[in-house]
Amino acid sequence: MKYLITGSGFLAKELIKALLKEEETEKIKIYSRAEKEQWQTKMMFNSDKLEFVIGDIRDKEAIKVALKGVEYCIHTAAIKRIEVAEKQPIEAIKTNVIGSMNVIEGCIENKVKKLILISTDKATSATTCYGSTKFLMECMAYANTSDTEIICTRYGNVFGSTGSVVPIFDELVKEGKPLTVRNPEMTRFFMDVEKCVGIVSDALKIGKNGELWVYESKSCTIKELADAFSDNQIISGTENIEKNDEALITVAELNHSKRYKDYYVVRKDYKSEKTYNEALTSYTAKRLSKEEIEKMIVNWREHEGISVKL
C-alpha cells in the first residue's frame, strides 16, 4: 500500500510509526513545508519506505503532483492554534479550507482510493475561526460523489500533542512556576494518541464515503487536569472566544449514527437505533478519574522520554 501524509507533526509521526509496522506498507510520502520536522522524522525512523516532499497544501499543483501513485492519503496538515487562527483568519482559511480543498481535489484527480481528513471537536457548533475552518472541511467531504472515498475523523484533545496545555503545564512544573488556569470549571475532552491512531486506522480499513467517525472520549475539568500536575496555580480568566464546554457530536449527528467499538459512525442516510435528545459534550460525557488522568500523564512522559515524576 502506498500512502501520503500531509503534515509532519505529532500525529503524523505516530501514524508513520503505526504504518511502518504493517507488512502491506510499501511507501509513505510525507508532504509538508516543515524542513526541520521532516529531517527529524527521517532521523527518527531511518526507513527506506519513507519519502519526504517539501511542499505546501496551499499549492494546488504541487500537492496534485505529490499524490501521483498514492493509494491512501491522511490529511493532518493544518493551522491548529486557536489564537493564531483568530488573529490571522485569512491564513487559517488558506490552509485549512483552501488547502484541504486542494488535497481533496488532488486525491480525486489522482484516483486515490481513500482519503482520511482529521477534524476536531472545535468543528461541532463552531464558535472560533479554527473550528469554522474545520467544519467547512467536513462539509467538503460530505459533498463528495467521486470514486475516492472520503472519511472524516473527529475527536477532542490528543493528550500531550504539540501546542496542547499538557506540555505547557509540564514545562511550568519543571521550572517551578505556577500553572496558568483560565477557568477551572472549563471542561475538555482528552484521549491518548494511541486512540487517535486507532480511529484513523479503522477508518482507513472499513470507513465508507461520507462517514464521520467520532471517538467517544472522556473529559475532565481544566482544574482536575492542573491538579494532577501541581497545586501551584493562578486563575487568569477565559478568552472571549472560548466555550466553557466542547461538543463532540450534535443531536442531529447522533440520530444519524451507528455504534462501532468506541466510535459513533455518522452519515446522513444512517438512522440511529435509539433517539437522542442532547448533544455529547465535555460536560455531559463520562469523566476521567484522577487515576486515569495521572496514568495519561505517566504514559505521555514515558512516550516523550520525560523523567519527571508526579
Could you give the residue numbers annotated as active site?
A: 122
Secondary element (H or E) of residue 126:
none
Query: Whose CA is closest to 99, among 68, 147, 125, 133?
Result: 133
- The dihedral of CA 166, 167, 171, 174: what is its sign? positive
In the numeric block, which cell numbers belong to residue 146? Answer: 467521486
In contact, 269 and 254? CB cutoff 8 Å: no
In contact, 20 and 47? CB cutoff 8 Å: yes
In the numeric block, which cell numbers belong to residue 273? Answer: 437505533
**CA distance linking residue 33 with residue 226, whole number of Å:** 34
Which alpha helices (H) appear in the chain, and where do they start and end?
Answer: 10-20, 35-45, 60-66, 82-87, 89-92, 100-109, 129-142, 165-175, 193-206, 222-229, 251-254, 290-304
Alpha carbon 143 to chain centroid, angstroms: 21
Q: How many CB atoms lie within 10 A of CB 24?
A: 7
**CA distance linking residue 51 with residue 59, whole number of Å:** 19
* Secondary structure (3-state) at 153: strand
Q: What is the DSSP letter of 279?
A: -
Query: Any idea which residue has 527506506 for its cell?
Result: 48
The upper half-sphere exposure of residue 3, i.e. CA atoms within 13 Å in the direction of its Cβ, equals 24
